[in-house]
A = this chain, B = another copy of it.
């Protein structure tokens, strides 16, 4: 839906110079419910790969490597729509989350905790057991 088939993808320029490390935040939203699932970071390569393949690619800050979301869990994020902000330094990926969960802790969303009376309370129940998906 994002890239044109059988044609070279036109690159949408983003302002990667806005951050010291050349990374920009990508907000990941469930395309149907609008729930925010996670936030990850993209560099130019992951941006290009996402546009070309229609699958969300990020830059893993911990592994310092290109990261196809779902490469180990199978929980790939299929891109349904991409939004770009006024300053071209943040994007929204509206996705179909395969496997039903975005968080490595097994929750549907990484934002499974809510501030309530000055404390954090857990708002969701896990969709999968991380030990089963990633190994113990």
Contact A12 B115 (CB under 8 A): yes
Q: Inside 8 A of A103's CB, which chain B residues have their CB?
A: 86
Contact A115 B85 (CB under 8 A): no
Q: Inside 8 A of A90's CB, which chain B residues have their CB?
A: 39, 110-111
User: How many chain copies?
Assistant: 2
> Is A92 in the interface zone, CB < 8 Å from B?
yes
Contact B86 A105 (CB under 8 A): yes
Contact A110 B82 (CB under 8 A): no
> Is A51 in the interface zone, CB < 8 Å from B?
yes
* Closest Cβ neighbor of A50 among chain B residues: B115
Interface string of A1-42 (1 = CB under 8 A from B): 011100101111000000011000101010001111011000
